[in-house]
Chains A and B, each alone.
Chain A
């Protein structure tokens, strides 16, 4: 076990070379709806229990099922209203269970990225070969159902191994060359994209996917009120927009159709979306477009800057 995952170097937020988003935007804004399938009877994983109660664990299972039966359409219509294309963090088994949802997202030209097979199957305890197979299955499933070459990864239920990012990038390359496997949402260390070291040396980026703005973290962990969540979204945006005048930032709202779409929560969310998209210098985009733009235009510059700063100050 390592003391540091080794994916990135220290890179101070001040005095970085400037990132300029398309059309002079200050903030690249993306919404990542997690569309997940949780199994009623998942197999045991010795490192993590899928449910707190013995099966059938209705409290968790049923509210997530609600998200797919009721909540998805509500959020989808809302995002459409504000010209936002979702970047779906997808439990790829959902392609088999609920293809209607996949079709609706395809019609709207949304992005699909991999969030594993099920959100009740964890990476913990997988051999490298098993994890590779799981990732490959998820990327192939996305391609088969959507024709999209999966660009991004968020590990299922945020369960990782030491190899997760390497494997995702390698399997992407093996299947589709440099078009697939180019970004990760698994790291929460920055408000800008950062280059990631991989054993393959592939150009690869970490794209900010804010856990703090994540509705499930806000509602289940921090237990804040819906109106407070709406205010935090606006506050988060205001600061990133102001800082973005100096150097382009990224704001991500990661959501879950079973949280944010509840009748008592969706109004506050809508107000925040209306506020954010009502600003002129916002690039409303997808995770993949941000990653590709960064890799094409700023990755090399970032690498040079990181290297020179670490050299100058002698960071180990």
Chain B
């Protein structure tokens, strides 16, 4: 067996706080309580991923979760993802309207370009659109050439802003994966809030070389893809887990201030005929609950920010 160099027993970052300088270490319980408008307890952030998974994916540096898995041409996975953008999304929209839900849409720029009908439908609704990167095969990753990544981010944002007429101040990287430079480049390009770091239940300040970003809590572990396609739980199990999370956060909010319930959902997963009723069950309960404020990511970020200092 090969042996390790003695450097393996040296720990240069072993000191107070984090082992990096992206944010201050703090425990949620020690932070100032946040108050949501109209004495609401839970800010509900329903985030819809609108995604384009290219058939000819390169998988650099890894195959994106939800991407193609079979030899080219993997029609099976390609067309099932497309189902979400053709069919599932319209079930979602109907449910949002029926149950008084304000959604946020995280859209791949390439999808908005490819399907103007869908893009316009979302634009006309006036809901917040976040940029979800260029497409699901354009990953941001450690060691990526910084100029290549700069160009990718600028292109994704410029084209989506142009197309939607919105400012686009929010960002989710494909697969929530980043390089060491991603936050700096995002801040340089007019992004204010992003959701790649799932290390908190509330927004917090994130340092970049180009000013502060607001890191937003969008838990991967309540994501429909994660629960249904990764963990292989049923859609009903997903709904039960959302219920349990909601009841717990509501209880916690009574002593600790406003909380965020972030639900990341995909029309190709929960938009299926046999699953949509469980999304509807969740939205019906949350949409009519007196303690719930259904709102966009940007309004949660701004409301939180205005109460700091």
Contact residues, B4-19 vs A (CB, 8 A): 4, 6-9, 11, 13-19
* Shortest distance between the CB of A263 and any CB in chain B (Å): 4
CA distance A62 to B23 in the complex (A): 12
* Shortest distance between the CB of A69 and any CB in chain B (Å): 6
**A63 touching B141 by the CB < 8 A rule?**
no
Residue B197 at the chain A interface, CB threshold 8 Å = yes
B25's nearest neighbour on chain A, judged by CB, is A98
Contact residues, A56-101 vs B (CB, 8 A): 56-59, 61-63, 65-66, 68-70, 72-74, 93, 96-101
* Shortest distance between the CB of B194 and any CB in chain A (Å): 11
**A66 touching B198 by the CB < 8 A rule?**
yes
**A66 touching B199 by the CB < 8 A rule?**
yes
Contact residues, A244-289 vs B (CB, 8 A): 262-268
* Shortest distance between the CB of A92 and any CB in chain B (Å): 10
Q: A70-B201, A130-B6 are in contact. Are A262 and B240 (CB under 8 A)?
A: no
**A65 touching B199 by the CB < 8 A rule?**
yes
Give the residues in chain B near A226, CB-CB below 8 Å: 241, 244
**A45 touching B244 by the CB < 8 A rule?**
no
* Shortest distance between the CB of A298 and any CB in chain B (Å): 37
Residue A12 at the chain B interface, CB threshold 8 Å = no
**A53 touching B201 by the CB < 8 A rule?**
no
Q: Per DSSP, are chain B's interface residues mostly helix, strand or loop, or mixed?
A: loop
Residue B176 at the chain A interface, CB threshold 8 Å = yes
A44's nearest neighbour on chain B, judged by CB, is B8
* Shortest distance between the CB of B220 and any CB in chain A (Å): 7
CA distance A59 to B252 in the complex (A): 25
Contact residues, A147-193 vs B (CB, 8 A): none
Give the residues in chain A near B137, CB-CB below 8 Å: none
Q: Which of B107-115, B151-159, B229-237, B293-301 contacts A (4 or more CB under 8 A)?
A: B229-237
**B230 touching A223 by the CB < 8 A rule?**
yes
CA distance A295 to B151 in the complex (A): 65
Give the residues in chain B near A126, CB-CB below 8 Å: 3-4, 8
Number of B residues near A (Cβ < 8 Å) is: 60
Residue A55 at the chain B interface, CB threshold 8 Å = yes
A124's nearest neighbour on chain B, judged by CB, is B1
Which of B196, B237, B244, B261 is A267 in contact with, Cβ under 8 Å? B244
Residue B242 at the chain A interface, CB threshold 8 Å = yes
CA distance A36 to B298 in the complex (A): 33
**A62 touching B241 by the CB < 8 A rule?**
no
Which of B4, B62, B175, B222 is A264 in contact with, Cβ under 8 Å? B222
- Per-residue contact bits, chain B 190-229, to A (CB 8 Å; 1 contact, 0 not): 0000001111110000000000000000011110000000
Contact residues, A103-119 vs B (CB, 8 A): 117-118
Q: A58-B177, A97-B15 are in contact. Are A264 and B248 (CB under 8 A)?
A: yes
Q: A62-B198, A65-B199, A100-B27 are in contact. Are A263 and B231 (CB under 8 A)?
A: no
A117's nearest neighbour on chain B, judged by CB, is B11
B6's nearest neighbour on chain A, judged by CB, is A130
**B28 touching A73 by the CB < 8 A rule?**
yes
Give the residues in chain B near A98, CB-CB below 8 Å: 25
Residue A225 at the chain B interface, CB threshold 8 Å = yes
Residue A6 at the chain B interface, CB threshold 8 Å = no
**A56 touching B178 by the CB < 8 A rule?**
yes
**A125 touching B16 by the CB < 8 A rule?**
no
Give the residues in chain B near A39, CB-CB below 8 Å: 13, 19
Residue A213 at the chain B interface, CB threshold 8 Å = no
* Shortest distance between the CB of A124 and any CB in chain B (Å): 8
Residue A301 at the chain B interface, CB threshold 8 Å = no
8 intermolecular pairs with C-beta atoms under 8 Å apart: A39-B19, A53-B177, A58-B196, A59-B177, A63-B221, A70-B27, A97-B19, A125-B8
Beyond contacts A73-B27, A97-B14, A134-B9: 8 other A-B pairs, Cβ-Cβ < 8 A, are A41-B13, A43-B8, A56-B178, A59-B177, A101-B27, A225-B240, A262-B219, A264-B245
Interface residues in chain B, defined as those with a beta carbon under 8 Å from any beta carbon in chain A: 1-4, 6-9, 11, 13-20, 25-30, 61-62, 141-143, 175-180, 196-201, 219-222, 230-233, 237, 240-242, 244-249, 252, 261
Of all A-B residue pairs in the complex, the 5 with the closest CB atoms, nearest first, are A54-B142, A264-B245, A65-B199, A263-B245, A264-B241
